[in-house]
Chain A
C-alpha cells in the first residue's frame, strides 16, 4: 500500500471519548500505515473517525488503546514538550479553516515554524519567498490573513506546512471552505509538491474531488477501516 517506507503507523488504535458518563467509540482497533511519498485521502461519513485519526497521527491527541508510530518510533509515553518538538520537526498541518496566525503577515506565517526551528533570519526569509512563489502568491507576502481570499490563505497554509521540510503533511478537510475552482487549484498545487518535491500528504476529506485526485483512498466507517484502495498509475 505504500510508495516507500512507513512514515506513520496506527497499530490497533482505539479512541473513546467520554462525555457526561457516555462513551463514544470514535475509532475501533484501526491498523493503518502511511508510506513515504503517498497522496492519500481518509474519507467517510461524519463521525466515522477521520479527524480523530488525523489528530492521533498528528500527535495532537492520544489513543485510548493501541499505538501510533512515527518513523518507527512510538508516540506513547512522550511528554508534551517532546510531542511539540516532534510536530515541529516532522509534521506539517493544513487545517480546514486555514488557521493562519492573524497578527502575522503571509510571509511571517510561513516563517513561523522556521523561527521555532531556529533557522537564521536570512535563510528563512529566502525560503519563505521561494515558497510564496511556489504557491503562486509572489508579492502578497506583506498581506495579513484577513486581507486575503480563502484560497490565498489556504495556499499560505500549505506553504507554511512544508516550510519546515516535514516528513508528512496532514490536511484536515483542506478544500471544505473553498469553491470548486479554488479547491481544484489547491489540489493542483499539492499534487505538484508531491510529484516534484516528494512531499507526503494525508487528507481527511468529504470532498469527491480530493478522493478523485488521491492515489490511495482509505474509507472509514464507525471508527473502522472498511476500504483501502490504491489507484494504479494511468
Chain B
C-alpha cells in the first residue's frame, strides 16, 4: 500500500469517535438519499403507469390536428392492417383504437354532458385498465349492440343502474343530429373524479355508426412494455404509420400536467436532499479541518523530513475520500436491500393521501423502484461532497511552513 494511503487510512481512525460520528452522518445521508430517490422513481413510475393505463397509453396516434381541436373532423383511417403494423412496432405490447367525442346523456329527468368514448372491447384491455374497473355489471362485449358503461359518479347523478336505458344525443361527423338509446351494462369505478363524473363508454362499432364515422377513429392508444422505451416506441410508430399522415404523441405531450407534477415533486425532493448533502459536507469538512489543525506540528515534522507539500495535500484528500467511502459502503449495504424489500412490498396509503392520489387517478400506494442511476448518483454525490469539503483543509495543511508548524505547540 502506498505510504500516503497507509498514513491516510490510519489517520482516519486516530479519533474513532469523531470518525464514527461523521461516518454515521454519511450513512444516514446515503440511506435517506437513496430511499427518497427510489421512492420518487417508484411513485412517479406508478403515477405514469396508472395514468396511461386509465387514459390513452404511452403513445397515441391520431389524425393531423386532433390534439389541438379534438373534434370528429380530425380522424385517422383505421383497419386491421393498421392495427397489425402498429402492434409490430418495437416495444408495443397493446394497441387500442378509439373514438372520442362529446354528447348529452339523459335518463329520466336528468341530463349530463359526457365524454363519449368508443372502444374495441377485445383490444381495450391490452392498453387500459377500463375493463377491470367495472364495479357493477360487466364491461362491453364485442357482440353487444348499443350497450354503454358509465362512470360511477355519472351513473349516480343520472340515477342510472345496470339494465336501465339512457338516451345519448350528439352531433355526427355528417353534422346531423345523432341520438340513440343505449342500455347500461356496467358501472365503472374510476380513480379520477372528473373522469368518473363524465365518462360514457360504448363499443367502437356503435360509435362509428352513431357518429356516421365509417372506418375512421379519433386515435389509437399504444402501450409500451417498459415506460423507459417510450421514446423508441414513438419513433417506431412514426416509421410504421408514415410521416405526415398522422400525429404521434407520447404521454408527456398528452398529459403535460402529469409531467409538470413529477418535475415539481422531483424539484422539492432534490432541494431537501441537497440541504442534507450540504450538512454532511460540513460534517466532513469539520472532521478533516479539526484533524488538520490538531496535526499542525506533525505536518511541520514531515515537511522538515522532506515530504512535499503536494503529498500532504494528497494525504488530507485521501482521508476525506476514505471517510466518505466508509460511509458510502455502509450506506449502500443498508440502502440497497432496504429498497429492494420496499420495491417488492409497496405500502398502502391511508387518510388524506388516498384522496390526493385519487385526484390524479393513482392507486394509493407508496412504491419504490431502484434504478441503476440511483446508487451511482449517490456515490458520485457523496464523493463530490468529500472532494469539495476536503479542499480547504488540504490546502491549509499543504501550505504550512515547517518552522511555523513546529512552533505551533
User: Which residues of chain A have a CB within 8 Å of any CB of chain B?
Assistant: 55, 58, 60-61, 80-81, 84-85, 87-89, 93, 95, 97, 99, 101-104, 112-113, 115-117, 160, 164
Contact = CB atoms under 8 A, between A and B. Distances in A.
Contact of B403 (A60, A88, A104): A60
Contacts of A58: 304
A85 B134 CA distance: 84
Contact of A102 (B298, B306, B401, B406): B298
A81 B308 contact: yes
Given A60-B403, A80-B309, A101 B303 contact: no
Contacts, number: 60
B306 A99 contact: no
Contacts of A89: 306
Contact of B306 (A55, A84, A101, A103): A84
B7 A101 contact: yes
Contacts of A113: 305-306
A116 B7 contact: no
Contacts of B304: 58, 60, 87, 93
Contact of A115 (B3, B14, B303, B309): B3
B118 interface: no
Nearest to B297: A99
A164 B402 CA distance: 19
B301 interface: yes
A60 B401 CA distance: 8
Interface of B: 3, 6-7, 10-11, 14, 297-298, 301-309, 401-403, 406, 409
A84 B307 contact: yes
Given A95-B301, A101-B302, A115-B3, A60 B406 contact: yes
Contacts of A115: 3
Given A61-B403, A99-B301, A116-B306, 15 more contacts: A55-B406, A60-B304, A80-B309, A81-B308, A81-B309, A84-B303, A84-B308, A85-B306, A87-B305, A88-B305, A93-B301, A95-B301, A97-B409, A102-B14, A112-B302
A17 B306 CA distance: 25
Nearest to A92: B305
B403 A116 contact: no
B188 to A, nearest CB: 71
Nearest to B306: A88
B307 A60 contact: no
B204 to A, nearest CB: 78
A138 B10 CA distance: 24
B402 A101 contact: no
A103 B305 contact: no
10 contacts: A60-B402, A81-B309, A84-B303, A87-B306, A93-B304, A95-B301, A95-B406, A104-B6, A113-B306, A115-B3
Given A93-B305, A113-B306, A103 B403 contact: no
A101 B406 contact: no
Given A60-B304, A85-B306, A103 B297 contact: no
Contact of B305 (A61, A80, A97, A116): A116
A103 B10 contact: yes
Contacts of B403: 55, 60-61
A87 B303 CA distance: 9
Contacts of A60: 304, 401-403, 406
B231 to A, nearest CB: 54
A95 B7 CA distance: 21
A112 B308 CA distance: 13
B7 A103 contact: yes
Nearest to A161: B305
A85 B7 CA distance: 21
A164 B3 CA distance: 17
A162 B307 CA distance: 16
